[in-house]
Amino acid sequence: TDGMVGYTMSKGLIRKVIVGADRIVVDGVFNKIGTYTIAIAAKHHNIPFYVAAPISTFDPSRTAESVKIEERDPKEVTHILNVRIVPKGVDVLNPAFDLTPINLVDAIITDRGIIHRPDQESLSKFMEGIGR
């Protein structure tokens, strides 16, 4: 499960991580919630962290700060089969995505090539080179 990532990394059972991306901006990668946590664990355990995504996910005109992260319906957390399972008044945060800062990414694998050790400059140049 998602919860055993740190444990399996600490035991040397994972040699590399490859995740997808919903959007790549010049300073980070947006993907399903939990990706950032996996990237931090990978960095801590010196495990390469790669992003594999088509160039259609690149958005060169945006920075991470300018992207609004989708919030899912709180009922996904507070209800089961339309029955409330938490007390009324409990605040719920239910983001669908998170941001992985680009400095945690070892390479981005695309259908147009690989960007090794991506940073804002190399991502901007890559995006310009592919006409995005």
The CATH number assigned to the domain holding 49 equals: 3.40.50.10470
Residue 66 CB contacts under 8 Å (≥ 6 apart), including other chains: 25
Q: In this predicted structure, what is the pLDDT of residue 50?
A: 99
Q: Is the dihedral of CA 17, 102, 21, 40 positive or negative?
A: positive
Task: Please say if the pLDDT value at position 131 is more than 90.
Answer: no
Residue 55 CB contacts under 8 Å (≥ 6 apart), including other chains: 110, 111, 112, 130, 132
Q: Phi and psi dihedrals of 98, rounded to 5? A: -140, 170
The answer to whether residue 10 sits within a structural domain is yes
Residue 23 CB contacts under 8 Å (≥ 6 apart), including other chains: 29, 30, 57, 59, 62, 67
The answer to whether residue 73 sits within a structural domain is no
Q: What is the mean pLDDT of residues 46-67?
A: 94
SS3 label, residue 38: helix
For residues 51 and 28, what is the distance between their CA atoms, to the nearest angstrom?
11
Q: Phi and psi dihedrals of 60, rounded to 5? A: -70, -15
22 is catalytic: yes
Range of the domain at 11: 2-64+97-121
pLDDT band at 17; cut points 50, 70, 90: very high
The answer to whether residue 20 sits within a structural domain is yes
The answer to whether residue 130 sits within a structural domain is no
pTM across the whole model: 0.89
Number of domains, the chain: 1
Q: Which among 22, 27, 73, 106 is annotated as catalytic?
A: 22
Contact 54, 111 (CB under 8 A): yes
pLDDT tens profile 93-128: 999 999 999 999 999 999 999 999 998 888 888 888
